[in-house]
């Protein structure tokens, strides 16, 4: 990760290699696998920002849909922490004493992603009440690092499942399904 020739380029962060094949990255784009979950994603995102000084970080990954209008590849506009539960210090989804970190925005897309360290397999009324469209396990951490270091970010999620009792089976069946769609989008971004 210490390649000075990559400075100023685009870094794509994705959790695991079954989601995205790094060999397909266009010139000027480096793919780095973070591992699953917010801690892994924050750690690797921080290293990528510090070592590579990218002009843009793009998060690609899979997601479960809460709003059933979403299918295929979607671009995420906002991310929140669905598992930040520090009541009574702050309501669910809010970081105590850091309101600027409640909802992070990319400036692109229209979808709201709820990030948390759990694989969603049942209805969570809080997600519906708070207009969360999709759920993942890394984006908020990556966006948090980008905001702290003033690096622009974008995120694309491929909907693999309906965040229900069949989510794990559907995720396994569809985990690689968005790769072609993502690389088509990245060709335009990388120009």
**Segment (H or E) for 39:** helix 38-52
Tell me 165's DSSP state. Answer: T
* pLDDT tens digits, 64-74: 999 889 899 99
Arithmetic mean of pLDDT over the chain: 93
- The tokens of 183 are what? 């690389």
For the entire predicted model, the pTM comes to 0.93
* pLDDT tens digits, 118-158: 999 998 999 999 999 999 999 999 999 999 999 999 999 99
Q: What percent of the chain lies above the pLDDT cut of 70?
A: 96
Provide the 3-class DSSP secondary structure of residue 64. Answer: strand
**Fold classification of 4-189 (topology level):** Rossmann fold (3.40.50)
Most distant CA pair in the chain, distance: 49
* pLDDT tens digits, 45-94: 999 999 999 999 999 999 999 988 989 999 999 999 999 999 999 999 99
Q: Where along the chain do its domains lie?
A: 4-189
From the list 165, 176, 169, 162, the residue with the least C-alpha distance to 63 is 162
């Amino acid at each position: 990760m210490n390649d000075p020739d990559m400075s100023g380029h685009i870094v794509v962060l994705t959790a695991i290699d079954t989601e995205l094949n790094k060999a397909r990255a266009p010139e000027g784009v480096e793919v780095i696998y973070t591992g699953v979950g917010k801690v892994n994603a924050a750690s690797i995102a921080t290293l990528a920002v510090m070592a590579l000084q990218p002009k843009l970080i793009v998060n690609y990954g899979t997601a479960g849909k809460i709003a059933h209008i979403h299918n295929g590849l979607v671009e995420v506009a906002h991310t929140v922490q669905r598992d930040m539960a520090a009541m009574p210090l702050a309501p669910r989804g809010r970081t105590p004493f850091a309101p600027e970190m409640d909802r992070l925005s990319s400036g692109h897309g229209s979808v709201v992603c709820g990030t948390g360290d759990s694989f969603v397999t049942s209805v969570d009324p809080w997600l519906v009440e708070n207009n969360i469209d999709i759920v993942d396990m890394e984006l908020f951490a990556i966006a948090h690092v980008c905001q702290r270091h003033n690096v622009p970010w974008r995120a694309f999620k491929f909907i693999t499942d309906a965040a229900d009792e069949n989510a794990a089976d559907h995720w396994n069946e569809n985990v690689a399904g968005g790769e072609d769609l993502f690389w088509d989008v990245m060709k335009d971004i990388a120009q």
